[in-house]
Protein backbone atom coordinates (compact mmCIF):
# COMPACT_ATOMS: atom_id res chain seq x y z
CA UNK A 1 0.00 0.00 0.00
CA UNK A 2 1.29 3.48 -0.92
CA UNK A 3 1.53 6.64 1.16
CA UNK A 4 -0.99 9.16 -0.18
CA UNK A 5 -0.01 12.82 0.25
CA UNK A 6 -3.12 14.46 -1.16
CA UNK A 7 -6.23 13.67 -3.16
CA UNK A 8 -7.42 16.30 -5.61
CA UNK A 9 -10.47 15.88 -7.79
CA UNK A 10 -9.36 13.57 -10.59
CA UNK A 11 -5.81 13.11 -9.23
CA UNK A 12 -3.97 11.43 -6.37
CA UNK A 13 -0.54 12.60 -5.24
CA UNK A 14 1.71 10.07 -3.53
CA UNK A 15 4.70 10.64 -1.26
CA UNK A 16 7.62 10.15 -3.64
CA UNK A 17 10.43 7.64 -3.30
CA UNK A 18 13.34 9.46 -4.99
CA UNK A 19 15.35 6.23 -5.12
CA UNK A 20 12.89 4.66 -7.58
CA UNK A 21 11.68 7.79 -9.39
CA UNK A 22 14.17 7.97 -12.26
CA UNK A 23 11.86 10.18 -14.37
CA UNK A 24 12.31 13.15 -12.02
CA UNK A 25 15.35 15.45 -12.40
CA UNK A 26 15.15 16.21 -8.63
CA UNK A 27 16.01 19.94 -9.01
CA UNK A 28 13.21 20.78 -6.56
CA UNK A 29 13.21 17.56 -4.54
CA UNK A 30 12.74 17.87 -0.80
CA UNK A 31 15.15 14.97 -0.27
CA UNK A 32 17.94 16.18 -2.60
CA UNK A 33 20.57 18.03 -0.56
CA UNK A 34 21.79 19.73 -3.77
CA UNK A 35 18.35 20.87 -4.97
CA UNK A 36 17.78 24.44 -6.18
CA UNK A 37 14.83 24.59 -3.80
CA UNK A 38 13.18 21.94 -1.61
CA UNK A 39 9.56 22.29 -2.74
CA UNK A 40 8.50 18.85 -3.94
CA UNK A 41 7.93 15.55 -2.15
CA UNK A 42 5.13 14.10 -4.28
CA UNK A 43 4.54 12.16 -7.46
CA UNK A 44 1.39 11.41 -9.41
CA UNK A 45 2.75 7.99 -10.40
CA UNK A 46 1.87 5.18 -8.04
CA UNK A 47 4.89 3.10 -9.10
CA UNK A 48 7.22 5.79 -7.64
CA UNK A 49 5.37 6.12 -4.32
CA UNK A 50 6.77 5.27 -0.91
CA UNK A 51 5.18 2.19 0.60
CA UNK A 52 3.53 2.38 4.02
CA UNK A 53 6.29 2.38 6.64
CA UNK A 54 9.03 3.52 4.20
CA UNK A 55 10.85 6.81 4.51
CA UNK A 56 12.68 8.71 1.79
CA UNK A 57 16.44 9.03 2.06
CA UNK A 58 17.87 12.55 2.10
CA UNK A 59 21.11 12.66 0.08
CA UNK A 60 22.82 14.11 -3.01
CA UNK A 61 20.68 12.94 -5.92
CA UNK A 62 22.29 15.47 -8.28
CA UNK A 63 25.66 17.24 -8.46
CA UNK A 64 25.98 20.55 -6.58
CA UNK A 65 24.39 23.54 -8.34
What pLDDT digit, counting tens, does each position of 9-50 carry?
Answer: 999 999 999 999 999 999 999 999 999 999 999 999 999 999
What predicted TM-score, i.e. pTM, was given to this entire model?
A: 0.86
Q: How confident is the model at residue 1 (pLDDT cuts 50, 70, 90)?
A: confident
Q: What are phi and psi of 43, to 5 degrees?
A: -140, 150
Q: Is the pLDDT of residue 61 over 90?
A: yes
Q: Is the pLDDT of residue 65 over 80?
A: no
Distance CA 37, CA 55 (A): 20
Q: Residue 44: its pLDDT value, please?
A: 96
Amino acid sequence: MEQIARKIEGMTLYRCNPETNKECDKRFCMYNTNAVDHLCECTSKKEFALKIGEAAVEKEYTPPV
